[in-house]
């Protein structure tokens, strides 16, 4: 059976559109292109099976092809029901990658597609949000054997991995890609900042200038969202639970309020905490008529949807990816993309040049964990600084930017306690 026959996709006839999308991002991912050339020569994954769960759009598809170019047999599934693009899935299957993914499957089918991916018995995994690892460590422990290790993409996944690790139950090493400089400084901040407004703007077709945008959580993603909201001319309000982040937001020029106050004045709300119920019943009660809610955190738990539904007399879809909740007192609250990551469920995710660095780290981390198979403990490991720096250097070279180097005297000076 070939990959098209093995795959479960929505519509194989969509492949031509998917190929165009992949070609477009490939032309804007010079760092990953260099790694692909390296992998083609070195074949680091020859004879190995790699299972990937990532938001299945064009940039991810190109990463899968780079891993395949390194000799791996690749199987891929989505990491959110609404972020999978069916044309990209069809194109990947034609390129020899087994795909178990479709846009908007029901929850049971979504899970089954993920399990099918693991039933290929992978040697290595790439996870986003920790779902593959969680399934392997709970209901499908029978598939654990043979997994050498893997790499995790995002903040939420790393929190879950660290919780597993703390209990001493992680069964293979996982590289925390999110915690590398070339990931969170650019992907979480500039990627999320830009793509969240891409998603909101294309979905609502409404103006941001002059409105009040409430950013919930001032972590790496929240900083990017707040920065771009300000650039679009919004009044920006930040809510936080961390005193240091709250001072940082204040010093960056934003108004800091508790959600009980921010809820009353926001026109747009963007949650980016990785936490649950950060906007909930008591907040819906005081919101303005017409408030627009969206989430950019990994799971759709940040806006409490059951409480919103319970306070509503009706819900209807008023535009693609916009649900109108009519509250019992007559006010309307709009929720974008069912509270799933608005930049991916209602957009194409981060820009290609940003994911170039993130996915370069993914590819190098996967090679790193495989090269050291048996030599690193079953724990969460950081991306080595050398790999992080290599990605930054490749990026600078692709931009035609050169930087200075330390002279021997400078190196000696920086390492000395006697010189001053």
Q: Which residues bind ligand NAD (CB under 6 A)?
A: 154-156, 184, 188, 192, 216-222, 239-242, 245, 272-275, 278, 296-298, 341, 343-344
- Map residue 61 onto helix, strand or coil: helix
CB of 79 to ligand NAD, least distance (A): 10
Residue with Cβ nearer ligand NAD (15 or 303): 303
Residue with Cβ nearer ligand NAD (194 or 204): 194
CB of 46 to ligand NAD, least distance (A): 32
CB of 287 to ligand NAD, least distance (A): 16
CB of 73 to ligand NAD, least distance (A): 28
CB of 35 to ligand NAD, least distance (A): 21
- Among 291, 352, 296, CA closest to 324: 291
Q: Give me the count of residues in the chain.
A: 420
Residue with Cβ nearer ligand NAD (22 or 176): 176
CB of 271 to ligand NAD, least distance (A): 8
Strand order in the sheet with 49-53: 98-100, 73-77, 49-53, 124-127, 149-152, 174-176, 380-382
Phi, psi of 295 (to 5 degrees): -125, 140
Residue sitting closest to ligand NAD (CB): 219
CA 419/CA 416 separation, integer angstroms: 6
Q: Is the dihedral of CA 348, 350, 352, 355 positive or negative?
A: negative
Residue with Cβ nearer ligand NAD (140 or 276): 276
- Among 305, 252, 256, CA closest to 277: 305
CB of 53 to ligand NAD, least distance (A): 14
Residue 300 to residues 6, 20, 66, 193: CA-CA distances in angstroms? 30, 30, 30, 18
Residue with Cβ nearer ligand NAD (245 or 378): 245
Tokens 């044309």 correspond to what residue?
Answer: 87
Residue with Cβ nearer ligand NAD (48 or 341): 341
CB of 190 to ligand NAD, least distance (A): 11
CB of 218 to ligand NAD, least distance (A): 5
CB of 109 to ligand NAD, least distance (A): 23
Residue with Cβ nearer ligand NAD (69 or 256): 256
Burial of 373 by CB count in 10 Å (0-12 exposed, 13-18 middle, 19+ buried)? Answer: middle
- Map residue 99 onto helix, strand or coil: strand
CA 350/CA 364 separation, integer angstroms: 20
CA 152/CA 271 separation, integer angstroms: 22
Which residues make Cβ contacts (< 8 Å) with residue 313, sequence separation at least 6? 326, 327, 328
Q: What angle do CA 323, 324, 328 make, to 5 degrees?
A: 140
Contact (CB, 8 A) for 156 and 130: yes
Residue with Cβ nearer ligand NAD (314 or 382): 382
CB of 217 to ligand NAD, least distance (A): 3
Question: Tokens for 92?
Answer: 């990947």
Residue with Cβ nearer ligand NAD (217 or 339): 217
Residue with Cβ nearer ligand NAD (188 or 312): 188
Question: DSSP states of 145-166 as a string?
Answer: TT--EEEE-SHHHHHHHHHHHH
Contact (CB, 8 A) for 321 and 337: yes
**Beta strand 291-295 pairing with 332-336:** parallel
Residue with Cβ nearer ligand NAD (18 or 224): 224
CA 366/CA 346 separation, integer angstroms: 29
């Amino acid at each position: 059976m070939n990959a098209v026959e093995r795959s479960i996709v929505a519509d194989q006839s969509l492949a031509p559109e998917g190929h165009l999308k992949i070609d477009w991002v490939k032309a804007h991912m010079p760092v990953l292109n260099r790694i692909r050339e390296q992998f083609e020569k070195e074949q680091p994954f020859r004879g190995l099976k790699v299972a990937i769960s990532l938001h299945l759009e064009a940039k991810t598809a190109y990463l899968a092809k780079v891993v395949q170019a390194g000799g791996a047999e690749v199987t891929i599934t989505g990491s959110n029901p609404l972020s999978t693009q069916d044309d990209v899935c069809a194109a990947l299957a034609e390129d020899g990658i087994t795909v178990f993914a479709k846009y908007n499957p029901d929850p049971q089918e979504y899970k089954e597609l993920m399990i099918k991916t693991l039933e290929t018995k992978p040697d290595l995994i790439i996870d986003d949000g920790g779902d593959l690892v969680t399934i392997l460590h709970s209901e499908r422990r029978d598939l654990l054997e043979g997994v050498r290790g893997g790499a995790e993409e995002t903040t939420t996944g790393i929190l879950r991995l660290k919780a597993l690790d703390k209990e001493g139950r992680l069964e293979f090493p996982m590289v925390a890609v999110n915690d590398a400089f070339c990931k969170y400084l650019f992907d979480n901040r500039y990627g999320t900042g830009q793509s969240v407004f891409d998603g909101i703007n294309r979905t609502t077709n409404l103006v941001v200038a002059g409105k009040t945008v409430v950013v919930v959580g001032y972590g790496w993603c929240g900083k990017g969202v707040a920065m771009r909201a300000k650039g679009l001319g919004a009044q920006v309000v930040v809510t936080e639970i961390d005193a240091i982040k709250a001072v940082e937001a204040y010093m960056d020029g934003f108004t800091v309020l508790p959600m009980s106050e921010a809820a009353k004045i926001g026109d747009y709300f963007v949650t980016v905490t990785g936490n649950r119920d950060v906007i909930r019943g008591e907040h819906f009660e005081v919101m303005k008529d017409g408030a627009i809610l969206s989430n950019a955190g990994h799971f759709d738990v940040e806006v409490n949807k059951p409480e919103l539904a319970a306070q509503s007399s009706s819900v209807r879809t008023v535009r693609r990816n916009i649900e109108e909740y009519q509250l019992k007192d007559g006010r309307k609250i709009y929720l974008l993309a069912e509270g799933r990551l608005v930049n991916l469920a209602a957009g194409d995710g981060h820009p290609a040049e940003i994911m170039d660095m993130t996915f370069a780290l993914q590819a190098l981390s996967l090679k790193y964990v495989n090269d050291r198979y048996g030599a690193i403990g079953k724990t969460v490991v950081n991306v080595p600084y050398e790999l992080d720096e290599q990605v930054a250097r490749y990026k600078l070279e692709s931009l035609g930017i050169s930087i200075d180097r330390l002279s021997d005297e400078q190196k000696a000076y920086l390492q000395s306690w006697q010189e001053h």
